Amino acid sequence: MPIISSYKKNNTPEPSDILIGTDVTNGQTKNFSLGGASIVIINDFLKHSAWKFIIQDPDPDPRPEGTISFENYGGQATPWQDITSLYINVQMPVTVPIVLPYLQRFIGYDIIIQDVRSLGRFGVYKLTALTQVQGNVYNMELEFVTGNNNIQALQYYSIQIDNVENADKHFEFTQGVPATTWDITHNLDKFPSITVVDTADTTVIGSYEYITKDRVILNFSHAFAGKAFLN
């Protein structure tokens, strides 16, 4: 039998290609598909950097490390818009320290829960609270923003801040008809800073009444047309 180094190298392997290896349980030589070996390696990496969604706990107490689940488990293929909270174990397998400080930074911000194997399966939420349930298990309270598809059991999900939703939002309002009161609905979901200019681009000072995080009324001593820049 030729030595291994004499075989021609394949620089474009396919997932169906076969590797020869040893089964550590019995020492027997076995064939392994390259695709199968890749999945094992990828899953081992993801255990340290992403959470597996489980629908049935193999060990009731405690919940497995590095997992997310519903309070009472179940929930296979739940639409993202129907999710209001998830239990999460902040201890990743074989990784120290716990990732609680990482998640705590996101409270009050929009996060994206992304299937690491499918860019088309994700949910975006505002993380409103992170409350300890027991030990390293916490309850993430979520407000749905947007999403696509649904959550799938045994898939791995990354959790990170959503740069799109948390980008510095701004709104430009045009008042075409001279008026002393400008009623602006901006949908920025915040109390923005405001700069107002007239049609000659001269800054005008007025009083502002924030009705909600999405609406503000501007009052001026005289009527004029112009623009308001909200940031």
Q: Is the pTM of this model over 0.75?
A: no
Q: What is the phi/psi pair of residue 103, to 5°?
A: -75, -35
Is pLDDT at 224 greater than 80 in this prediction?
yes
Q: How confident is the model at residue 1 (pLDDT cuts 50, 70, 90)?
A: low
CA distances from 134 to 63, 66, 67, 140, 193 (A): 10, 15, 14, 13, 41
Nearest to 94 by CA among 155, 25, 45: 45
Could you read off the pLDDT of 127-175 as tens digits, one per residue? 999 999 999 999 999 999 999 999 999 999 999 999 876 666 789 999 9
From first CA to last CA, the distance across the chain in angstroms is 73
What is the rounded distance in angstroms from the CA atom of residue 156 to the CA atom of residue 88? 13
The C-alpha torsion from 24 through 30 and 33 to 38, rounded to 10°, is 10
- And the tokens for 76? 């296979």
Most confident of the ranges 21-25, 81-85, 92-96: 81-85
Q: What is the phi/psi pair of residue 104, to 5°?
A: -60, -30
Percent of the chain whose predicted confidence (pLDDT) is above 70: 97
Domain boundaries defined on the chain: 13-46, 51-161, 171-230
Mean pLDDT, to the nearest integer, of 89-98? 86
Residue type, position 21, single letter: G
The predicted structure's pLDDT at residue 169: 75
Tell me the three state secondary structure of residue 71.
coil
What is the rounded distance in angstroms from the CA atom of residue 131 to the CA atom of residue 138? 5
DSSP state of 203: B
Mean pLDDT, to the nearest integer, of 85-97? 89
